[in-house]
Amino acid sequence: MQEAWQTPSACRTLAFGEVHVWRFALDRPAGIVRQVETWLAADELERANRFSMTRLRDHYVVGRGILRMLLAQYLGRRPAELEFRYGPWGKPDLERPRVIPSIQFNLAHSGPRGLLAVTIGYSIGVDLEHIRPLPDAGDIVSRFFSAAEIAEFLALPERLRLSAFFNGWTRKEAFLKATGSGLANSLDSFDVTLSPCLPPCLLRVAGHPSAARRWSLYHLDPGPGVAGALVVQGAGHQLRFFEAPDPEA
């Protein structure tokens, strides 16, 4: 899918059935990093300060800052007012969502880029990865992907394998993030399509024959050289793509 990433108007409304996908840069001037840092809760600052590399620390701060800024705009609140709670495997959620069904979101970062996906009422997961040469891609597939995925990967011509690998990686990660289980769930317990020639699809979830039909998997194109995937509970969502503005005071 070739998305048209728009710069949004000031007013943020999110209709039921819509999914808003925001992309943003994590490299920001020091002044912006210092400003968004003032919005973070004590546990977020503690986590930020555990990074030994300043650049990674600042990426985490900016990611959390943009998450707070965008969610606050939907909720008509200030970024620093939001409180998060965490699922058993660390998935963040709003502590007091205010609206029922509540806003659901998921954040992802890879290198200097971030993505945030937001919807109402449906579990959601997003992932992105920089596509880079990976000589051991085949080994990772055979160790961690499912039997059906391994067969699909090995049947592909060499020229398609790298994009198939990153399709698989981001799709599997987005599904694990949508369920909130992260790597607590085994990567070979469900199948996704990998080939750039096939539609993105969650094909099977082991032990749950109808589960695959309860989720939608979308391919994302967050920018040149970047693979992306989005998984949302339900079907027929309307996707909209936005560039996140600079954080404001």
Q: What sign has the CA pseudo-torsion 206, 210, 215, 219?
A: positive
Distances (CA, A) of 71 to 13, 35, 96: 11, 17, 12
* One of 108, 118, 230, 231 touching ligand COA (CB under 6 A): 108
Tokens of 239: 């996707």
Pure H helices in the chain: 30-37, 42-48, 54-75, 137-144, 147-155, 158-179
Among 177, 205, 217, 247, binds ligand COA (CB under 6 A): 177
Q: Which stretch binds ligand COA (CB under 6 A): 148-156, 182-190, 199-207, 216-224?
A: 182-190
What is the C-alpha separation between 68 and 233, in angstroms, rounded?
A: 23
The CA distances from residue 12 to 37, 100, 102, 244, in Å, are 23, 17, 15, 12
Stretch in the footprint of ligand COA (CB under 6 A) among 6-14, 22-30, 171-179, 211-219: 171-179
**Of 103, 124, 187, 229, which one interacts with ligand COA (CB under 6 A)?**
187
The verdict on 68 binding ligand COA (CB under 6 A) reads no
Q: Residue 9 Cβ, how far from ligand COA at the closest point, in Å? A: 26
173 is a contact residue toward ligand COA (CB under 6 A): yes
Taking the chain, what is the end-to-end CA distance rounded to the nearest angstrom?
A: 34
DSSP conformational letter for 226: E
- Closer Cβ to ligand COA, 9 or 66, answer by number: 66
**89 near ligand COA, judged by CB under 6 A:** yes
Q: Given the rule CB under 6 A, which residues bind ligand COA?
A: 60, 63-64, 89-92, 106-109, 125, 127, 144, 169, 172-173, 176-177, 180, 182-183, 187
